[in-house]
A and B are shown apart, each in its own frame.
Chain A
Amino acid sequence: MRRRMTALVLLSALAFVVQGWGGLAPIRAAGQQTVHLTAWTIGPDEPSYYRKDNLLSAADALNKQLAAEGSGIRVTLDATFATGGGQTWGAYKQRFVLAAQSGKAPDIVATGNEDIAAWAAAGYVIPLDTYVKQYKQFADVIPSLWNATKFDGRIYAIPQDVEARPLYFSMPFLAKLGWSQDKIAGLPKAIEAGQFTLTDMLQTAKEAQDKGLVLKGYGWWIRPINGPAYYMYYEAFGGKMTDASGKLLLDTKALRGDYSFFHDAVFTYSVTPKDIIGTDWNSWHGAVVGKQVLFTQCGTWCWAQWIQQYKMPADEVWKTYGFALVPSGTKGGRPVTLSHPIVYMISKSSPHADLAARLLALATTPQLNARHAVTSGHLAVLTDEAQVPAYAQDTFAKDTIYMLRYTTFLPNDALFGTYDQAIWEGLSAVVSGKMTADQAVQTVTQQLQTNLSDHVVIR
């Protein structure tokens, strides 16, 4: 009897738990089902918060559409936005990979386009070709951006924003150096025409330092951690990351030019500090908004960061800094910039991929993308976005959009991380004085041959 009673109590408890579990989660009221979606987004720059907020706005729009259709489904979105310093990207990607491997990935994840290949190859994210054809919003995406979202010929991601990576120059310092206003204003054109090269930039910075206008080591600064920006200097010397067939490529001549340029910046001209790599981002931005640096290379989003995050008044930023493409490494050469589109992907473990894709379509509108671009210093990813008044009237967006004509993207190759590891280590060794440019090129070549074998072409 006692055993029966115990079994009855246990079964009742089980029934209660199952009922509660099943009853509380998706069913809110008779005939209505609530679907919970999760999304992880990242800045790490603070002004890029619309990467999350646009998804929340899209969730509202989706619920209105569902209500209008008479559907019993409603969507709630739990979205996060990661910000922080140098380790934010690494920690964010690590979290997604571990979550994906344990089947707990969010439905939607925002990341850089370079992750598409590795995550698609591992099966963490799903192809979106069907959805891209299904929703008209995606037809407005600037066509060239789709190339950055493909792996093995299939689309795995939806572009969220794009950027250029300008060279910022301090107009007051150049004026003190004796440059006329016309010459300062004409610098972007001179760079575009290949008349002002990377070496000219180093010489100008050295001159400003020698005249005591700029502190030693404050002539030219680049980001203090690894990132796509460093490949611009390889490209400035004619380097390409892939060959015509799309295979990873190392051009040793261009890499030697790239490494020699960095060696010159740190040791020959002493316009960049030896320990620039590893400098804290806050200190780095602090020096820039403190108007201490003559030439600074940073993405378009930095413009918004200096104003919003580091509280430099907008008119001060405009008075202090001009912007241009990154100069060519050779006279008459083509200037460069590089784009690293942030994209949304849908994880394979998402039980609601259809709804997630529909939500992404509703987040891909000229109005939402424009408010993100204007607020965060990014550029348009939609053809109609440039017509949105907020974007059309934004001087910085208008003045930098031409840079996209010169842009390139990182290759979508699953082993790009291994390729980058070797090139980054070589560059760091040169900047810290542990290797000459020639030694570093030789080491990188050996490393790539050992680690990537026939996956890379070395010229």
Chain B
Amino acid sequence: MKPSPESLSGKPVTAQGAARRRWPAGGYPALFLAPAGLVVLALFLAPALLTIVISLTNLSVATGLTHYRWIGLANYLQIAHSPWLSLILWNTLIYVACTLVLFNVGLALVLALLTAHLSERAAGVFRVLWMLPRITPSVVYALMWRWAAAQAPYGTLSQLLGLFGIPGRNWMNAHPWAFVIGLNGLVGASFGMIIFSSAITAIPRDQYLAAQVDGASAWQQVWRITLPRLRWPVLFVTAYQTLSLLTSFEYILLTTNGGPGFYTTEVWSLYAFHLALSNYFGNTQFGLGAALAAILVVLGVGASVCYLRLFRFSELVSPPRIEVN
């Protein structure tokens, strides 16, 4: 009788174990990642590649889907020569940076810290209230803002401020950026609030108790215990919301539509939409719009890489130096 093969530990190797060992290195991780990989391939990589392909054509309403021509980088050159490029890039930067810093991360962090010090029930009610803008349909939410900001005697804001002797006006036209950033930010803040609240809840309570025993003030607890442990969620929220803000324009479209006046609140994604899908005289330019979208993808990837470096992502995912069993 042939002796059964033995493993290094001295235990006999079964047929199942031998089969498992035949998998190449990394086989199991690849297998488990495959479904997610397919989703990424189908829903991100394929559209991105298609966008790049379309951006190399003169596809428009006039050419239809059959009469287009390959024009190489002509669309990109047209964008580079556009006199409005710097204006739209600046608008995009203002929109993303202000919404992100003031609301999506800043306000979200404040809300999460405040609710962490409330009772569970009160915190729950408070968070639900902040979720209302998110669960309200975009069109309804935007229209409510438009009507609230409308000129006297129609606008709610003008009516309220009129009680204090402030003359009525169309407040959205007067301060378009405040409204665009504010109404986007109030939706975005709830996302960060939930993520940060969960992360704060996960911090072991005994660390706070130990700090209190050592005489740490509330602010010191936040600064020394809470915030350092929020680096990972802050990275996630910052990166995710940056990409989201770069590509989302529905609230701007529904409120100022890039105005008032000349491209006052026109951001990159809205400009791409206007060129690719919405032109007053009908001849929308899909190729040019795709080139703008492709550049947006590059901007998004660039911003993500910057965040990963800024938050030292490699340290965040490195294995722990000690292992507790």
Contacts and interface: CB of A to CB of B under 8 A. Distances in A.
B62 interface: yes
A87 B256 CA distance: 11
Nearest to B87: A434
B283 A280 contact: no
Nearest to B61: A118
A286 B65 CA distance: 43
B84 interface: yes
A278 B173 contact: yes
Contacts of B284: 94, 97, 417
Interface string A206-240: 00000000000000000001110000000000000
Contacts of B146: 280
Interface stretch (A48-56, A71-79, A363-371, A423-431): A423-431
Contacts of B297: none
B263 interface: yes
B304 interface: no
Contacts of A87: 253, 257, 278
B280 A432 contact: no
A225 B170 CA distance: 17
Contact of A97 (B61, B83, B253, B280): B61
Interface in A190-208: none
B143 to A, nearest CB: 11
A436 interface: no
B279 A90 contact: yes
B281 A121 contact: no
Interface stretch (A38-46, A59-67, A443-451): A443-451
A269 to B, nearest CB: 18
Contact of A101 (B65, B256, B278): B65
A283 B151 CA distance: 7
Contact of A428 (B81, B170, B262): B262
Contact of A277 (B60, B81, B262, B277): B262
Chain A CB within 10 Å — which of B65, B87, B253, B281 has the most? B281
A446 B64 CA distance: 27
Contacts of B67: 121-123
A274 interface: yes
Given A121-B62, A428-B262, A94 B278 contact: yes
A114 B62 contact: no
Nearest to B274: A90
B150 A93 contact: no
A407 B281 CA distance: 19
B136 to A, nearest CB: 20
Contacts of A225: 280
A97 B285 contact: no
Nearest to B172: A280
A124 B64 contact: yes
Contacts of B256: 278
A119 B279 CA distance: 14
B260 interface: yes
Contacts of B63: 121-122
A93 B154 CA distance: 31
B304 to A, nearest CB: 31
Interface in A119-156: 119, 121-124
A458 interface: no
Contact of B278 (A91, A118, A278, A424): A91
Contacts of B81: 446, 450
A94 to B, nearest CB: 5
Contacts of B65: 101
Nearest to A87: B257
Interface residues of B, number: 39
Nearest to A225: B280
A123 B64 CA distance: 7
A443 B64 CA distance: 29
B259 interface: yes
Interface in B116-161: 146, 150-151, 154
A198 B83 CA distance: 30
Contacts of B264: 278, 432
B150 A277 contact: no
Nearest to B63: A122
A329 B259 CA distance: 28
Interface string B59-94: 011111111000000000010011110010000000
A418 interface: yes
Contact of B262 (A91, A117, A429): A429
Interface in B258-276: 259-264, 275
Given A87-B257, A122-B63, A447 B283 contact: no
A414 interface: yes
Interface string B218-259: 000000000000000000000000000000000001001101
A126 to B, nearest CB: 14
A118 B83 CA distance: 26
A428 B83 contact: no
Contact of A431 (B82, B154, B257, B261): B261
A115 interface: yes
Contacts of A446: 81, 83
B282 interface: yes
A414 B62 contact: yes
Interface in A389-437: 410, 414-418, 420-421, 424-425, 428-429, 431-432, 434
A443 B262 CA distance: 15
B261 A274 contact: yes
Contacts of A286: 151, 154
A279 B259 CA distance: 9
25 contacts: A89-B280, A91-B278, A101-B64, A117-B62, A118-B62, A118-B283, A119-B61, A121-B62, A121-B63, A123-B64, A123-B67, A227-B280, A275-B260, A277-B262, A278-B259, A278-B260, A279-B173, A280-B146, A283-B150, A415-B283, A417-B281, A417-B282, A417-B283, A450-B81, A451-B78
The 8 closest A-B pairs by CB, nearest first: A278-B259, A417-B283, A278-B260, A122-B64, A432-B262, A414-B62, A428-B262, A432-B261
Interface of A: 86-87, 89-91, 93-94, 97, 101, 111, 114-115, 117-119, 121-124, 225-227, 274-275, 277-280, 283, 286, 410, 414-418, 420-421, 424-425, 428-429, 431-432, 434, 443, 446-447, 450-451
Interface of B: 60-67, 78, 81-84, 87, 146, 150-151, 154, 170, 173, 253, 256-257, 259-264, 275, 277-285
Given A410-B281, A417-B285, 8 more contacts: A87-B257, A87-B278, A275-B261, A277-B261, A277-B262, A418-B285, A421-B275, A446-B83
